[in-house]
């Protein structure tokens, strides 16, 4: 079986969000369960690409409307990622220092549609030259969602119609809405299929992919159900296509995220030695930020944006500290300027109880998972979420809102077999009660260690997720 993943991101090559983590991990584990998996992504002008040896394996020309453009396909030959990586080089469009955002202006590139379209057209044009076509073409998010549409609706790509296509929705809030006139930049589309491109009078790349892909997946079962209720106008379409949709929760790379071998943490430990190991990591962390290691340590790691519920954090932490509860809070991340300002004020106001590093720091993130007691994830939206899985792996109890993948991966400790803390509504009162419960758990040393041990026993490796994708691919091949 030969599977080709087509994505605008892939960790560690180019990352803007969780999409990159999935595309950088899933193919590696698919290889291990017997599915030869390639990744095709853009050739950006970024450090990782410049620092790795690439070899041109194909050169071609394609059309973007009236414009004829040249492209090159380059392969990274070391296979350092665990799967073959191919980069699409379209000079003037993809060879830029930003993935989506121009670093010189901090705004999205003005020719976003042309960049996405040229990438997708070049990828399809290259695959046309294959003597043996892939068994599955797996696309990720709206940036590549026009590929299933073009495979179905364009006579230029008629030879792909019998190849099953999969579209994974990592975040349904981003859909690729464009002016209807942009259709002219695509290859010829059969008139009777043109309507599949549009939603509410505009070109919508995600809706085109949902209509035409053989199978739709989301990154958790709960997120699939949520999209059918709320998806920026596509709810009815996703409900209509529910029979070809399924949710498969992401995994984590357990070779990178392993407290037993992690070179970035202060002291390694496993599910037997965690009481001593976590305490050593906590002592170091508290020493860095002037905290009392005898108090519960709550951390937030991630983007400081509304989607992640970060706007709730300042008032939640202030209420906790002002009502006499004892605990320490540490934030790591970047995001909204007003939140940065509020957090800096709180650092001065609550010395020895609150601190933050307003940055992206991979080493500190690992040390926070290893050295903290509780991880805060009060997300408004969370298609899957990986941080709660990292925290469980390191014996840190996640405090999560019951939404999306958080709901699927964290069971409240009040339920049989539970190991985490959940709250339902996005409001200050529910989140505060969750913190009160955490303080009670921390005070009961036996219960705390019991939950930590349960947490560390959870299996969120990619193996089980990769098996589910592999089974789905096999069923699609049988449908051909």
- Binding residue numbers for ADP-alpha-D-glucose: 15
Half-sphere exposure at residue 148, Cβ-oriented, CA atoms within 13 angstroms: 28
Token pair 């296979």 is found at 79
Q: Between β-strands 67-76 and 107-108, what pairing exists: parallel, antiparallel or unpaired?
A: unpaired
Which residue do the tokens 């001593």 mark? 276
Residue 380, both tokens:
């408004």
User: d(Cα 127, Cα 136) in Å, to the nearest integer?
Assistant: 12
Q: How far apart are CA 453 and CA 458, in angstroms?
A: 9
Give, in order, the Cα–Cα distances in Å from 179 to each of 68, 184, 206. 22, 11, 14
Q: What is the 3-state secondary structure (H, E, C) of 241-288?
A: CHHHEEECCCCECCCCCCCCCCCCCCCCCCCCCHHHHHHHHHHHHHHH
Question: Hey, which residues does 374 pair with through a beta bridge?
Answer: 298, 397
Report d(CA 139, CA 225) in Å as an integer: 21
| Residues 387 and 411 sit within 8 Å (Cβ to Cβ) | no
| Sequential DSSP letters for 12-80 | TTB-SSHHHHHHHHHHHHHHHTT-EEEEEEE--SSHHHHTS-EEEEEEEEEEETTEEEEEEEEEETT-T
Burial 140-171 (b: 16+ CB within 10 A, else e): bbbbbbbbbbbbbbbebbeebeebbbbbbbbb
Q: Which of 102, 76, 100 is CA-nearest to residue 87?
A: 76
Euclidean distance between CA atoms 477 and 35, whole angstroms: 13
The token duo for 235 is 């709810």
> CA 330, 335, 341 angle in degrees (round to 5)?
70
Is 403 in contact with 226 (CB distance < 8 Å)?
Answer: yes
CA dist 271 → 268, 402, 416 (Å):
11, 26, 20
Residues at the binding site are: 15
In the Cβ-directed half-sphere of 438, how many Cα atoms lie within 13 Å?
32
Residue 429 to residue 316: CA distance in whole angstroms: 9
């Amino acid at each position: 079986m030969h599977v080709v993943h087509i994505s605008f991101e892939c960790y560690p090559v180019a990352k803007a969000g969780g999409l990159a983590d999935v595309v950088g991990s899933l193919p590696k584990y698919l290889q291990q369960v017997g599915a030869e998996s390639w990744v095709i992504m853009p050739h950006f002008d970024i450090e990782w690409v410049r620092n790795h040896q690439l070899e041109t394996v194909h050169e071609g020309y394609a059309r973007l409307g009236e414009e004829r453009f040249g492209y090159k396909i380059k392969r990274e030959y070391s296979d350092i990622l665990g799967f073959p990586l191919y980069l699409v080089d379209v000079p003037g469009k993809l060879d830029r220092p930003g993935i989506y955002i121009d670093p010189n202006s901090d705004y999205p590139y003005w020719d976003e549609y042309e960049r996405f379209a040229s990438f997708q057209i070049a990828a399809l044009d290259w695959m046309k030259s294959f003597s043996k076509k892939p068994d599955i073409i797996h696309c990720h998010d709206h940036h590549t969602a026009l590929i299933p549409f073009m495979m179905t609706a364009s006579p230029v790509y008629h030879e792909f119609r019998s190849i099953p296509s999969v579209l994974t929705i990592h975040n349904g809030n981003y859909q690729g809405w464009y002016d209807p006139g942009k259709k002219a930049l695509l290859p010829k589309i059969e008139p009777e299929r043109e309507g599949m491109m549009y939603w509410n009078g505009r070109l919508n790349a995600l809706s085109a992919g949902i209509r035409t892909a053989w199978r739709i997946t989301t990154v958790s079962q709960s997120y699939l159900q949520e999209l059918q209720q709320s998806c920026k106008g596509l709810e009815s379409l996703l409900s209509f296509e529910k029979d070809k949709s399924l949710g498969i929760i992401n995994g984590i790379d357990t070779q990178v995220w392993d407290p037993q071998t992690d070179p970035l943490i202060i002291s390694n430990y496993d599910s037997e030695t965690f009481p001593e190991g976590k305490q050593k990591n906590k002592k170091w962390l508290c020493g860095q930020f002037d905290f009392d290691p005898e108090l519960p340590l709550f951390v937030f790691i991630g983007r400081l944006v509304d989607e992640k519920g970060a706007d709730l954090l300042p008032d939640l932490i202030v209420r906790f500290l002002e009502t006499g509860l004892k605990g320490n809070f540490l934030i790591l991340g970047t995001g909204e300027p007003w939140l940065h300002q509020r957090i800096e004020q709180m650092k001065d106001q609550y010395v020895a109880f609150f601190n933050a590093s307003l940055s992206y720091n991979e080493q500190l993130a690992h040390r926070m998972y290893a050295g903290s007691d509780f991880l805060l994830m009060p997300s408004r939206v969370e298609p899957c979420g990986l941080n709660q899985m990292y925290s469980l792996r390191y014996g840190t109890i996640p405090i999560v809102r019951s939404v999306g993948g958080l709901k699927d991966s964290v069971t409240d400790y009040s339920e049989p077999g539970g190991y985490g803390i959940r709250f339902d509504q996005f409001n200050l009162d529910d989140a505060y009660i969750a913190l009160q419960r955490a303080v009670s758990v921390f005070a009961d040393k036996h219960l705390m260690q019991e939950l930590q041990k349960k947490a560390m026993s959870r299996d969120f490796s990619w193996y089980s997720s990769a098996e589910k994708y592999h089974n789905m691919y096999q069923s699609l091949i049988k449908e051909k």
